[in-house]
């Protein structure tokens, strides 16, 4: 006699291996080797019509000082000079800022604006 369970033979059901699921860790660690991962978002700034002798380091310092006044934690900044149509008239830059997501979220909530599209 073959024992059945939901149209499956019981011997076959017992031979399936169950998947073990690890438990999530919540709270603070006493081990100093474990640290949480800082989630960052990239913000692109395009700045144009600056004086032709402007250097990328000046622009990075300006962006970091404005972010510091706004209490936004900037993890890293990079600036690239873009090729402009008229080189002697003005210069353009692309500035990439890596921002701490948690601090950025708190800043946007303090502004009382809905941060649409941020998770």
Q: Does the pLDDT of residue 116 top 90, yes or no?
A: no
Radius of gyration for the alpha carbons in the chain, expressed in angstroms and rounded? 27
CATH assignment of 38-113, among 1.10.260, 2.60.40, 3.30.310, 3.30.70: 3.30.70
Q: Per-residue pLDDT averaged across 48-66, rounded?
A: 89
pLDDT tens sequence across 2-15: 555 556 555 555 55
**Rounded distance, CA 44 to CA 77, Å?**
10
Contacts of 37 (CB under 8 A, 6+ apart): none
How confident is the prediction for the chain on average, in pLDDT? Answer: 76
pLDDT at 92: 92
pLDDT tens sequence across 61-99: 888 888 887 777 788 889 999 988 888 899 999 999 888
Q: Does the pLDDT of residue 119 top 50, yes or no?
A: no
**Rounded distance, CA 97 to CA 102, Å?**
15
Q: Per-residue pLDDT averaged across 109-113, rounded?
A: 67
């Amino acid at each position: 006699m073959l024992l059945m369970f939901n149209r499956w033979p019981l011997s076959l059901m017992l031979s399936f291996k169950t998947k073990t699921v690890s438990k999530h860790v919540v709270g603070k660690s006493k081990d100093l080797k474990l640290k949480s991962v800082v989630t960052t978002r990239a913000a692109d700034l395009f700045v144009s019509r600056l004086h032709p002798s402007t250097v990328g380091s000046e622009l990075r310092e300006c962006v970091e000082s404005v972010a510091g006044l706004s209490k936004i934690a900037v993890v890293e900044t990079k600036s690239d000079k873009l090729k402009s149509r008229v080189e002697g008239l003005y210069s353009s830059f692309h500035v990439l800022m890596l921002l701490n997501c948690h601090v950025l979220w708190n800043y946007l909530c303090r502004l009382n604006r809905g941060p649409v599209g941020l998770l």
